[in-house]
Amino acid sequence: MGDGPPSLWEWIARNWDTGRAGSIRDLLSDHLLMSLVPIVAGLALALPLGLACIRWRWLYQPTAAVFNVLYALPSLPLFMLLISVTGLSPVTVIIPLIFYAMAVLIPAVVDGIRAVPEHVRQSAVAMGFTPLRRLVQVELPIAAPVVIAGLRVVAVSSISLVSVGALIGQGGLGMLFTRAYQNPFLPPVVVGIGLIVLLALVADGLLVLAQRLLTPWERARRAT
């Protein structure tokens, strides 16, 4: 009695906050950071680049081609290439994930803005809106569903791909998988998968909520 392996809940209780690096809580915090930064940075970079592609149409195809090539590259080789520059740090994981986010978000921004009806733009111009005001108050809100749809894809993929960084010692919750591989034991795998899925569901739910808050006219249309 008491000499066998701990149960799942016993293992979680022992390893949630050990006071040392590598506890479940620390790994969860690292995973959140390495997932959130690419989402925010990817959107911050994709938005002006997408607007530039709309302004200068010739720019869109080469930009999309470059980021599609980057998106097609496996994450692990990119991590390995960056190690010589950024070292074994979270930045090594974050940079490729930003590229992946931009590959999804640039087309989302372009498609969302282009989907704004021309008569809506003309109405805003007739009301005296400056280009910046028209963009912020008219075009971006109408494009929000398309952009947020892209953000939902980016959020889920980033949360998932962070775990690959465990192969270079920077994978957040993915470190639980390497532990289980080195010392075969099921609870770390269950906890890692469970928390990653939970993070993805929470992120997706928050983005859906953000879309509803940013597009109240959609709720009104459904109500009628």
Flag whether 11 is in a domain. no
Flag whether 39 is in a domain. yes
Averaged over 34-58, what is the pLDDT? 94
Give the structural domain span for 156. Answer: 21-223
Q: Residue 1 has what pLDDT? A: 46
| Tokens 């980033």 found at | 158
CATH code for the domain in which residue 72 is found: 1.10.3720.10
Flag whether 121 is in a domain. yes
Strands (E), 102-167: none
**Is 54 strand, coil or helix?**
helix
Q: How many domains does the chain have?
A: 1
Which tens digit of pLDDT belongs to each residue from 151-190?
999 999 999 999 888 888 888 888 888 877 777 778 888 8
CA distance 35 to 25: 15
Averaged over 47-63, what is the pLDDT? 93
Average pLDDT, the chain: 86
Which tens digit of pLDDT belongs to each residue from 113-135?
998 888 888 888 888 888 888 88
Which helix H or strand E contains 119, and what residues bound it?
helix 118-126
213 pLDDT tier (thresholds 50, 70, 90): confident
CA distance 168 to 162: 11
